[in-house]
Copies of this chain bind each other. A is one copy, B any other.
Amino acid sequence: MTLKIALAQTNFLVGNIAANVNNIIKAANHARDELGADIIVFPELTITGYPAEDLLLRADFIAEANNAVYQLVDQVAGIALVVGFPEHDGDKIYNSAVVLHQGVRLACYRKQALPNYGVFDEQRYFAAGNQPCVFEFNGTFIGLTICEDVWQSGIIDATKQAGAELLLTINASPYNSGKIHQREAIICRQVKAAQIPLVYVNQIGGQDELIFDGASFVADSQGDIVFRAEEFKEQISVIEFDGSKPITNICVPLYNEIASDYQALVLGIKDYVRKNGFQGAILGLSGGIDSALVLALAVDALGHDKVEAVLMPSRYTQAMSIEDAVLEAQALGVKYHIISIEPAVNAFTGMLAEVFAGTTKDATEENIQARCRGVILMALSNKQGKLLLTTGNKSEMSVGYATLYGDMAGGFAPIKDVPKLLVYQLARFRNSLSKVIPERVITRPPSAELAPDQVDEDSLPPYEVLDPILERYVELDQSAEEIIAAGFRREDVARAITLVDRNEYKRRQSPPGIRITTRAFGRDRRYPITSGYRGI
């Protein structure tokens, strides 16, 4: 018998239960009327959005979510809904998927595998279910699973043994570089082993640090992908099944890794600005590669008329930096201001002259310059209700090559999880679409321009050396000895690791930014500030 299943790859707002319910109803009516669907499947924790974090500890929030599901059962007819919600039962909360159809709760499944690693804290909120769930619909026996459940083998097998001929999986699976390939490979391997077709529905959208990439898919019982939705886009797609067998072969091809990263960053900026109600974004444009990339990302996310750039030269700013920054703003059609920081720097120098008498210049004076820029940018942000974007990259965040309350001032840090070498790749990728970053910005040696003739490599190993060391230490948890054994010089490893260890305090106060690696600073990497651990 024919079965039409709609995959609702939606972008909901965490916490806004009333709006999410309305969007569920709209999507279900659309899928029924326009697409002829029999069932519509929404992502994990549809009702609350994912991750709702400690909102899940609030009794009022849980009650509202459960009440919403209770009411939803009567609000849509003629189509079955599979919806995720935090199910309240006694003194426990489960991460559940409920099937609603014609005024009846057909089935309710409680997630068994609760991830509690990386960015996930599900054992903080949820009790684990302990049994499979299968329901009959139009003569087909359908099993329910949720996200982490299908990354393991046992749960798929148990659901099949309980009678399932077809699996529905609702997910909130966050993006990182290469994640889509990894996800499809692992899950399709389980599918193939269990010989059961699977419908995988993922949410999309940015939520603070996390990007959800969508790329929902259908695999047949051989583990071959016969349908794939677009990455990074809201989309409702209908797939026809003959019983449990999918009758389709429409796979949107995947972006390459750099293009995916770029799209993830654009989506992250767009959703942070939109979901938090900002009027647009502003940023400081230095003439360097980092701010050039952030400007391009912001314009691609928000449109040129919503983005504003500020050039803030000092006595150490080279003429070409100003020229290039102006060219960038002009190429993207962005309004810009030029405000010299000299009057403020001079004021502070005078105010501190007495207490600093007899001391020698050091990083303090460099930080004052960066902080004057922070004050200017925040003033513009406050006055206009525009989000201030910081432009620091992951290499800088790792080694603390940034000024707290200076260039680190801002509400969102789009490239804080992008290592410097990837910044260059993304800039070249963006230029391949249309030339917006002057070539000189990509080729000149990076500099903070906080002292005469300063370049980054005066105090750091070259990024070709630094970035792989940082990846091994921060993302892969390798020890100094392992990194040295892999062919890096002891002094470079020592310099990099020492700086990473020492700068946790700065990272703790940095704005949130978009996670695109397997370990981002933030909720993903939780280090103590007070620590006697020395990696070397």
Contact = CB atoms under 8 A, between A and B. Distances in A.
A434 interface: no
B382 A528 contact: no
Among A116, A379, A508, the most chain B Cβ lie within 10 Å of the Cβ of A379
Nearest to A16: B532
Nearest to A63: B479
A276 B530 contact: yes
A300 B505 CA distance: 24
B364 A15 contact: no
A185 interface: no
A528 B51 contact: yes
Size category, A interface: 35 or more
Interface in A273-329: 275-276
A430 to B, nearest CB: 25
A93 interface: no
Interface in A506-536: 508-512, 523, 525-535
A375 B368 contact: yes
Interface in A183-215: 206-208
A339 B409 CA distance: 24
A364 B532 CA distance: 41
A509 to B, nearest CB: 5
A525 B343 CA distance: 41
A255 interface: no
A351 B367 CA distance: 19
Interface stretch (A77-85, A237-245, A355-363, A457-465): A355-363
A208 B530 contact: yes
B339 A344 contact: no
A348 B367 contact: no
Count of this chain's copies in the oligomeric assembly: 2
A124 B121 CA distance: 8
A378 B371 contact: yes
Contacts of A206: 530
B59 A13 contact: no
A356 to B, nearest CB: 6
Contacts of A371: 371, 374-375, 378, 405
Given A53-B526, A347-B343, A351-B376, A531 B14 contact: yes
Contacts of A508: 511-512
Nearest to A374: B405
Contacts of A55: 527-528, 531, 533
A352 interface: yes
Contacts of A378: 367, 371, 404-405
A530 B275 contact: yes
Contacts of A529: 208, 276, 512
A372 interface: yes
A181 interface: no
Interface of A: 13-17, 19, 49, 51-55, 57-61, 116-117, 121, 123-124, 206-208, 271-272, 275-276, 337, 339-341, 343-344, 346-348, 350-352, 354-356, 359, 362-364, 367-368, 371-372, 374-376, 378-380, 382-383, 404-405, 409, 411, 477, 479, 481-482, 505, 508-512, 523, 525-535
23 contacts: A14-B528, A14-B531, A14-B532, A14-B533, A15-B531, A19-B532, A53-B527, A53-B528, A54-B525, A208-B528, A275-B532, A276-B505, A337-B355, A344-B351, A348-B379, A351-B376, A352-B376, A352-B380, A356-B383, A364-B383, A371-B374, A372-B375, A375-B375
